[in-house]
Structure 1
């Protein structure tokens, strides 16, 4: 095996009670033992329902359902993944994505200036993660993005893509259904140069994979970093904290941050630190340690440099819940992945299951370019120029073994 060592893969399988890591769409017999073969399943379906209005614009909720019963609900507001319902070992649906029951809750609580800043399930842009002081220089011109996080710009500034109503188009493929969302960000929006046309396509297939493919073009040189901010709890969104769930990251290095969570520019080894997830490790095993990086983020909120990341679709992460046997694998074309352990959930927000979300009731795995890359020439470039096409694909694979 080229991404994780075979020993690491077998350790992950043993810890989670599932088969070894595999390529996208190829699952072990153990991990899919309760599933029928894809050819035996019903064709995936997609449906639409009204979900309210924002600023006079209609918002819709689309429901994508695979033949296995895996169901994903997506809003045109913010491109939000509202829920991911996965059948358990006995076929009963369990929602494993944190979210709100109503559009009003998303509008009121999902972004920083509204008093929330959780970004449940949202599409993030133009620049995911942080830009130091909200400023960057491109081709000799300095640009200012509104700051909204410790004096820095987070997730595109005060009004990011997570607050936009996207234009939907339904797609049908072989053994799959898709929802393409489009948003055109005008030149100068949130201080970013260029008119950026972005498509984000969610595709659910009968191999129980949810694929998110971004495509963006610009008419002027700009910077781009797009991602999705779903919070996962593989035991169920109302089940409590995720400290006992296992995480494995295909990353030997991470990018440490300063006191305001801006990268220092280093890429430090994870070995012998709490950032070492090269073997499957319980999320809560070291989260309460005194490491300065954990103290700064009040838990995990860091970017890992994916081994081989940025050179095609690469295995970035694997998470598993030993109790339910539910497993999530994340493949990405991006060089980095931000692991956030839900540190700033305070119990003030009530989710879809009518449960107050407390600290670490969910975790996020945000595939991305490195934070603050526009201000670090030695980081992978985030610059997009006219005539170029930004592409970013993430594949989320979901399996459940019999209890």
Structure 2
């Protein structure tokens, strides 16, 4: 097991560092203290060739200008809050509007746009980096001084664990996730349309035109949203289903997980042989197939394009603060918040 640290860039007078965790099998994950951002995950294909399986940039400038949240921790609230406001304990709070009239992924300067404190730890069978940040009362409109810790741990079972911990001195909202875009082909050799996704989910949330949930749970049975036995991403991208078309040709939908911590999310690429199993205690996962991805900047030498990556954002259900029938995001004063998601990398012959 090994940990390395090196300078990645400068943000004003502050240094942005990259931390790399590597296990005894050669699996390697690199993070920035800027946004707790995962920049690379290096895993082998079935031929033993080690390649990167996430989207990102070689230079800090890419992340400073990034509007796609590549690899970042997003919060205080992941996803959209309609109208960029909410009412809590009888008081209405106005949030930063950074997507039309809505609040998206924590606002203009959310968790993804700050430098976190970092502390490393090395053990015989695992290595970790713990990132810490205090979000002050009123930041982006949210109440309470919120202390957040995000710990990335890589072990010799080829598992990457993300543990989120938070506590606030006022009742507030909290719903965080990691926003990595995965592409198991390796080094972005092709898009993710032929990746196969399996989800233990019987229901998804219908979306409105603005991509906010309608509040209705929809059954996956008989639709392109039924991933229970596995299906290709292409089947949704090519679908004429109104919800697939609304999302821009693919998925940008929250799925309600029917099981937790039991291989409830599995992504496979038959060409490379790579498999990734995701286990979480979150109530849902937002599946986003980069339907809107575009731009002139290069992603590790590849031009951004639609369907280049897939996000599996384990979290609470979007816009829950406006839907009483969704599990709540409310974090009570002085009550600890914790959530864990684990990614296990392997090979399917």
Instruction: Tell me the TM-score normalised to structure 1 length.
Output: 0.84
Q: Distance in 1 between matches of 2:70 and 2:181?
A: 6
Q: Distance in 2 between matches of 1:288 and 1:56?
A: 48
Structure 1 position 277, deviation (Å):
0.8
Aligned residues: 348
Would you say 1:400 and 2:315 are equivalent positions?
no
Q: Distance in 1 between matches of 2:259 and 2:266?
A: 16
Would you say 1:316 and 2:269 are equivalent positions?
no
Which of residues 242, 257, 272 is equivalent to 1:306?
Answer: 257
Residue by residue over 1:64-116, the C-alpha shift from the partner in whole angstroms, topping out at 9 and shown as x without a partner, is: 001110010100011100000112233321100110110011102x1xxxxxx
Structure 1 position 199, deviation (Å):
0.2
Which of residues 360, 383, 402 is equivalent to 2:330?
Answer: 383
Match of 1:135 in 2: 85
Which of residues 46, 50, 62 is equivalent to 1:105?
Answer: 62
Match of 1:196 in 2: 146
Which of residues 260, 280, 289 is equivalent to 1:332?
Answer: 280
Further displaced range: 120-129 or 369-378: 369-378
Q: Distance in 2 between matches of 1:293 and 1:45?
A: 45
Structure 1 position 251, deviation (Å):
0.4
SS in 2 for 1:350: coil
Would you say 1:82 and 2:33 are equivalent positions?
no
Structure 1 position 237, deviation (Å):
3.6
Would you say 1:224 and 2:181 are equivalent positions?
no
Structure 1 position 260, deviation (Å):
0.7
Structure 1 position 288, deviation (Å):
2.4
Further displaced range: 264-273 or 49-58: 49-58
Q: How does 1:359-370 map to 2 (within 5 A)?
A: 359-370=306-317
Residue by residue over 1:4-46, the C-alpha shift from the partner in whole angstroms, topping out at 9 and shown as x without a partner, is: xxxxxxxxxxxxxxxxxxxxxxxxxxxxxxxxxxxxxxxx111
Q: Is the 8 A contact 1:131 1:154 kept in 2?
A: yes
Q: Distance in 1 between matches of 2:307 and 2:187?
A: 11
Q: Distance in 2 between matches of 1:381 and 1:62?
A: 34
Structure 1 position 219, deviation (Å):
0.2
Which of residues 164, 186, 199 is equivalent to 1:236?
Answer: 186
Further displaced range: 244-253 or 168-177: 168-177
Q: Distance in 1 between matches of 2:239 and 2:12?
A: 45
- The structure that is strand-richer by fraction is 2
Which of residues 53, 59, 71 is equivalent to 2:16?
Answer: 59
Residue by residue over 1:282-334, the C-alpha shift from the partner in whole angstroms, topping out at 9 and shown as x without a partner, is: 1112322222212221020000000035xxx3433101000111000110010
Q: How does 1:2-401 map to 2 (within 5 A)?
A: 44-108=1-65, 110=66, 117-298=67-248, 299-309=250-260, 313-346=261-294, 348-352=296-300, 354-401=301-348
SS in 2 for 1:104: helix
User: Aligned-pair RMSD on alpha carbons?
Assistant: 1.2
| Unaligned stretches of 5+ residues in structure 1 | 1-43, 111-116
Structure 1 position 196, deviation (Å):
0.6
Q: Distance in 2 between matches of 1:254 and 1:210?
A: 26
Instruction: Tell me the TM-score normalised to structure 2 length.
Output: 0.97
Q: Is the 8 A contact 2:44 2:274 kept in 1?
A: no
SS in 2 for 1:215: strand
Q: Is the 8 A contact 1:235 1:324 kept in 2?
A: yes
| Unaligned stretches of 5+ residues in structure 2 | none
